[in-house]
Amino acid sequence: MSRTRFPRSATAAIMFVLMAGGAWAQEPSYGPNTYDRTLEALIAHEDIASRGGWPKVPGSVTALKPDSQGPDVAILKQRLMQSGDLSPASLPGEVYDEALVAAVKRFQARHGLSELGTVGRLTLKAMNVPVEVRLNQLTATLERLKGNGFNFAERYVVVNIPGASVEAVENGVVQRKHLAVVGRPDRPSPVLQANITSVNLNPYWTVPMSIVKADIIPHMRKEPDFIAKSNMKLLGAENKEIDPATVKWASLTNPYFYVRQEPGATNSLGQLKIDMPNTEAVYMHDTPKKTLFRNDVRFNSSGCARIEGVRDLAAWLLEGTEWTLPALEAEIAKNERKDIKLKKTVPVAWVYLTGWQGADGLVQFREDIYGLDTPQGIVTSTIQPRKPKPKAAAAEPVVMPAAKVEPRPVPRPAVTATAAN
């Protein structure tokens, strides 16, 4: 497809068509062309900044509902028109009509929020992020993408940490998309590349020593039966079990044992783990706390990625073998440990994308939950954070120029620029 510069009068209509659902809707958020498309988004947002950015939306818009009327509706329409979520051809005025409901939903989809069609607290917060911050997010993402050397194989998996989401990709098409729960800010999930090697059914959970010290010991000081209630065991030399009652928890600082949680539905890993050996000792797994997937903000783990519908993802990884989803379900029901090796390893990338553009033309943004988009979080940046230009004197409406444009050449060094962990 050729890239054409469209006159400004046509750009908003094109953006609206793309957002209504393009032919590339199933292309992954992270692929070989993500860099170039994100650069296009950077150029488009620089244009918005040069025209004064978008207006601040008042908190009173959270009281609006479909069919509401008033000046707040007009402000909301203007904000969404300027970011390309609302077509400039839509009916003007101060009525919260169907077109505005659809525009709010498009905005929410682009920011990883529940598509409700009304403006809640998180949607209002996202709308009022200045365009200069969005420019910095796109710049930071470009830095992290440069020269990363990931193997975009026929089949691969990507975990976008800020998006708290997982995509299973085959032949350049997203076959499965899953919500995820990733590391909280004080225990962040790492940016890494690895290979998925096996699927573990009814796994043990060997508790990392950092969690033993930070969580298990304080719990035992308050609840002496915590180990037993959590279906855990203390194992010492030669895997000999230790009675928790013999441990002096009040003064313990350096445990002489390790803690293992036994298989079962209450295991912190759930009933399935996807193994991907790496130096950070993280992996993807099930969870007994499935209500966490209902939240728009899903940063609750200690670094690993909990996956909604992880059994479906495991079945995809094991396609071509006897291990179909029903077979996995039947084996899990036995409540016995079993490790299943993949016939061929599948590359996996844990990435930190806070701003990017997909092949459908949608520019996506996610919150910089770990604060890595600041200059301190980027290594050897060569793309300078953009500064706003003076506001245009004319009152011409600002619209999102979403057409495919020829990106300006930007140096792309061979050395990987990664986010600081």
Tokens 């930190």, located at residue: 352
Q: Which residues contact 409 (CB under 8 A, 6 or more apart)?
A: none
Catalytic residue among 45, 111, 178, 285: 285
First-residue to last-residue Cα distance in the chain: 38
* Exposed / middle / buried, residue 70 (Cβ in 10 Å: 0-12, 13-18, 19+): middle
* DSSP state letter for 171: T
Active site residue 111: no
Q: State the alpha helices, DSSP H only, in 111-238.
A: 121-127, 131-145, 209-211, 217-222, 226-229
Q: What are phi and psi of 114, to 5 degrees?
A: -60, 135
- Radius of gyration, CA atoms only, the chain: 24
What is the Cα–Cα distance from 181 to 284, expressed in whole angstroms?
Answer: 10
Which candidate, 416, 370, 379, 410, places its Cα nearest to that of 140? 379
Partners of 341 in the β-ladder: 198
Rounded CA-CA distance 68/101 in Å is 11
Q: Which of 45, 111, 178, 304 is catalytic?
A: 304
Residue 121 φ/ψ, nearest 5 degrees: -60, -45
3-state SS, residue 259: strand
Is 285 an active-site residue?
yes
Q: What CA–CA distance (Å, rounded) separates 60 from 73?
A: 10
What amino acid positions are annotated as catalytic residues? 285, 304
